[in-house]
Structure 1
Amino acid sequence: MPIEKIDELKAIHISIQDEIESRLAEFDRIRKIGDDKAIFAELVFCILTPQSKARVCWAAVENLLDKNLLLNGESDQILGELHGVRFKYKKSEYVVEARDKLSIDGKIAIKSRISRFSDVCDAREWLVRNVKGIGYKEASHFLRNIGFGENLAILDRHILKNLRSLGVIEEIPDSLSRRRYLEIEIGMMEFADRVKIPMSHLDLVMWYNEAGEVFK
């Protein structure tokens, strides 16, 4: 395990710990007081993020909210707001399909769907199996962003790059099967325990290490 890189990671953690805790508190507030629209917005953000920049995707979500399209727009209307989002044609369809899947009598009811799970891993499995465009990374990201998945690994390219440089994984896999995802997640949890950085913080520290900011 490369000691210098670990020391660097710990130093970053100390320097941004207050910012991380503030962001995690925001996520927790969404879980506690956020309505279905706010929670669905986080899901849409995670549907949009694969191979796209996080800030671009969140800007698209904000546009959808501002124009009252998130809960009411057709796929072509949603498509028109996905500026800079890769694979936007498919993703606009995924948003509408997810909205339909998570609605009861025409009203979005995602909060009740998620809150029925007492185990976050069960919630993640349900999302992966039932929401098109959501894999293990996206489901973990969504659950973390609504204050329900702080110990899940969000294995995007930034995190995988850090895990490789820290010796947690030998190489970045070309693709992630369920089995491989969970293996790496366990390895990341064990690493977090060894370096005494909470799992909920470690993801944001690694993201900061690559992107230079604490975002979503």
Structure 2
Amino acid sequence: MELSPREREKSVQELQILYGEKRDAIQTRLNEFKQVLNRNDDDVFAELCFCLLTPQSSAKTCWAAVSRLKERSLLLKGEASEIQPQLNDVRFGDSKARYIVEARATFSKDGKLFLKSHLSSFANLFELREWMVENVRGLGYKEASHFLRNVGLGEEFAILDRHILRNLKRLDVISEVPVSITKKRYLEIEEKLRGFSREIRIPLADLDLLFWSRETGWIFK
């Protein structure tokens, strides 16, 4: 049901008030993301693996799985058959274990990761996202945007997960929550969210974490 102008104004005001309460925590988190590329390739690759695991699984569960893989030295050296048992609480663990191994091969040469240098080779971040979607199996636009945001490169991208889409529907930014999203539809909704962000004067990256925290009660990844 479409909101009346008064109802929409009230909803936007409530969102702006909530942002005022959470702005410092959100911006602290975003600044932490911007520091990730100052760390080593192993840490950046861990962020990529986290985003490969997230489809239809909770962020908390996925980061716990990545942490287990790191502790057991499987993230950088494990075969899919060794990784999969550590993903028992992640949906589609068999496929995602293979995605991790394939991604590691994509960004490795002579046994060393070069993910950071690959990311820095793109002057245009939209072209980088396209490359990631086309060349990293398991990454769609949501996951690629999520990864780039988590390494400080995705401030202009929307991470259109179910939390965000529900909020966009609630605010009449979109008329319905799509069951599935094509590339065309993803980019259309992303542009609508970008426009809404400008309208209410909350930066896009901040708005994503604000919606996420409103749905989950916390600010995470």
Q: TM-score band, normalised by the shorter chain? A: over 0.9
Conserved in 2, the CA contact under 8 Å of 1:151 and 1:199?
A: yes
Partner SS state of residue 75, structure 2: coil
Dislocated runs of 4+, deviation >2 Å? none
Partner SS state of residue 97, structure 1: helix
Unaligned runs of 5+ in 2: none
Report Cα offsets for 1:65-89 as digits up to 9, x if no partner.
Answer: 1111110011111111113100101
Report Cα offsets for 1:140-165 as digits up to 9, x if no partner.
Answer: 00000000111100000000000011
Equivalenced residue count is 215
Give the structure 2 partner of residue 113 of structure 1: 118
Counterpart-to-counterpart distance in 2, 1:192 and 1:147: 19
Give the structure 2 partner of residue 38 of structure 1: 43
Which amino acid is 2:91 matched to? R
Give the structure 2 partner of residue 8 of structure 1: 14
Counterpart-to-counterpart distance in 1, 2:114 and 2:177: 37
Conserved in 2, the CA contact under 8 Å of 1:158 and 1:206?
A: yes
Could you tell me how far 1:106 is from its partner in structure 2? 2.2
Is 1:148 matched up with 2:165?
no
CA RMSD of the aligned region, Å?
0.9
In the TM superposition, 1:37-116 aligns within 5 A as 37-116=42-121
Counterpart-to-counterpart distance in 2, 1:7 and 1:27: 28
Report Cα offsets for 1:91-111 as digits up to 9, x if no partner.
Answer: 001100111111112221111
Which amino acid is 1:48 matched to? L
Q: TM-score, normalising length from structure 1?
A: 0.97
Is 1:25 matched up with 2:31?
yes
Unaligned runs of 5+ in 1: none
Identity of aligned residues (%): 49
Give the structure 1 partner of residue 202 of structure 2: 197
Which amino acid is 2:174 matched to? I
